Amino acid sequence: MAVAIVHSCGFVHGDIHLGNILVNLPSTFNKLSADQLRERFGEPEMIAISRVDRNPLPPNVPSHAVASLYLGKKAQEFTLTDAQGLILSDFGEAFAPATEQRLGKHCNTPLARRAPEALFEPNAPLSFPSDIWSLAIAIWDILGMKSIFSESETRDEIAAQQIDVLGPEGFPATWRKIWERLSTEETNPDQGTPRQPTGHREVWPPLEDAFTEFVQKYRRRREAAGTFSEEETRAILDMMRGMLKFRPEERLTIDEVLGSEWSVQLEQLRGFAAAGAGAKGNLVDGEKAGKAREWALFTPALNPRRRRPEVLTDVRGARQQRQQSSMPRGWPHNPPAQPGRRSQVLSKGLAGRSRRMWEEVDGSSSSMPLPMSRFFRRASRSGRRRGTNRFKTAKS
């Protein structure tokens, strides 16, 4: 609904991902003083930022970042009722297509969530369909607890994965010429359009197989998550196919997404949960509404491994840096960001802008937000491969 409201007002959000989707926290946190927060969670953990190529940081990148704070609520305890307070945040990349032109080359959405037209048509203006693509990736992140496309690859590999998963049939002919150009050719030397990778690479499964391997199989190993029924799987994939079209004009609009079978059933379940009902949803296989397992949308990350964020640097622009991690280093004991602050969302991780969203809490505040990405496991190449070893490699 938040995306629908933004679009109805004539704006494109421009940066939809789980780090920019917040949930309200209990108001009891507002009653803690800065000293009490530090006593409970420890001192802030500072992480030095460096480029993988060892070059100096650009002036718009801070020298350190503050690790995100884990507040103790596990994803399996997060219910549909809790989700009533979802907040779409960070409008730093938002624009109005009717009055402002945003070219694909100026898109700063993370590569794994960036619409393909931004890659293959860098000089063409973006519009509402680019949000639909990113929204589909975010939904997949929640359902499968990891991304459909790798978060730690180059634009060439990301584009190859998109073609693997969605199939070459809908791939525009004009893009194919760019994609299949020889390594000695460069049609847009300043824009860095994707080029078909040479040599051997891991071939990703098509959408239906990806759902089985990356979502169902992963969830099956975690009893608290639960798998999707055949009927619900069909509804999810129908919606995904409509949202993940290569041609932006062929994608579903946000109203069509909300009118899809799966979205309608989800909204009904949210109503059941809010009312405390125990009825079963039509698309929920045997789970009761109002409980953590009732709906697979909010399920456990189950990945408390401590990992240090890895900074990936695109030499063409520091604003395209992205944090790649499953959980912040020091999890679950990461402290608050600064004295006097009650929550901090480093929504871009260690991104070029390193934009911080602060929630100032005073006596009138009732809750504070936390990024939804804290509840779910981020994709990693090692985690992805566990479910893909049966797929062959091929020379592209």
Distance CA 205, CA 241 (A): 15
For 172, what's the count of Cα atoms within 13 Å in the CB-facing half-sphere?
14
Euclidean distance between CA atoms 96 and 335, whole angstroms: 37
Answer yes or no: are the C-beta atoms of 161 and 361 closer than 8 Å. no
Digit-coded pLDDT (tens) for 31-74: 888 898 888 888 888 999 988 888 999 888 889 998 877 766 66
Is the pLDDT reported for residue 332 higher than 90? no
Please write the tens of the pLDDT for every residue from 271-328.
655 555 433 333 333 333 333 233 333 332 322 222 223 222 232 233 333 333 333 3
Residue 369 has a pLDDT of: 58
Identify the pLDDT of residue 285. 34
Contact 203, 373 (CB under 8 A): no
Nearest to 126 by CA among 114, 118, 137, 138: 118
Q: Pick 25 or 105 by higher pLDDT.
A: 105
List alpha helices for the chain, DSSP H: 2-8, 34-41, 116-120, 128-144, 155-166, 173-179, 207-210, 217-220, 230-243, 254-258, 261-274, 381-385
- pTM for the complete prediction? 0.65
Q: Any idea how long the chain is?
A: 396
Residue 208's nearest CA partner among 229, 226, 234, 231 is: 234
CB atoms within 10 A of CB 309: 21
> Are 273 and 290 a contacting pair, CB within 8 Å?
yes
Question: CB-side exposure of 345: number of CA atoms within 13 Å?
Answer: 24
Residue 187 pLDDT exceeds 60: no
Nearest to 322, CA basis, from 147, 117, 93, 152 = 152
CB 278 within 8 A of CB 294: no
Predicted pLDDT of residue 202? 84
Q: Give the pLDDT confidence score for residue 374 in this predicted structure.
A: 53
Residues 33/101, Cβ–Cβ less than 8 Å: no
Domains, the chain, in order of start with CATH, read 2-182+198-395 (1.10.510.10)
Instruction: Supply the pLDDT for residue 144.
Output: 82
pLDDT in tens, 95-127: 999 999 999 999 988 888 999 999 999 999 999
Percent of the chain with pLDDT strictly greater than 90? 30
Q: What is the mean pLDDT of the chain?
A: 70
pLDDT number for residue 359: 30
Taking the C-alpha atoms of residue 151 and residue 146, their distance in angstroms, rounded to an integer, is 10
pLDDT in the model for residue 223:
61
Per-residue pLDDT reduced to its tens digit, 3-18 = 999 999 999 999 999 8
Q: Which range has highest mean pLDDT (16-20, 190-194, 214-218)?
A: 16-20
CB 89 within 8 A of CB 20: yes
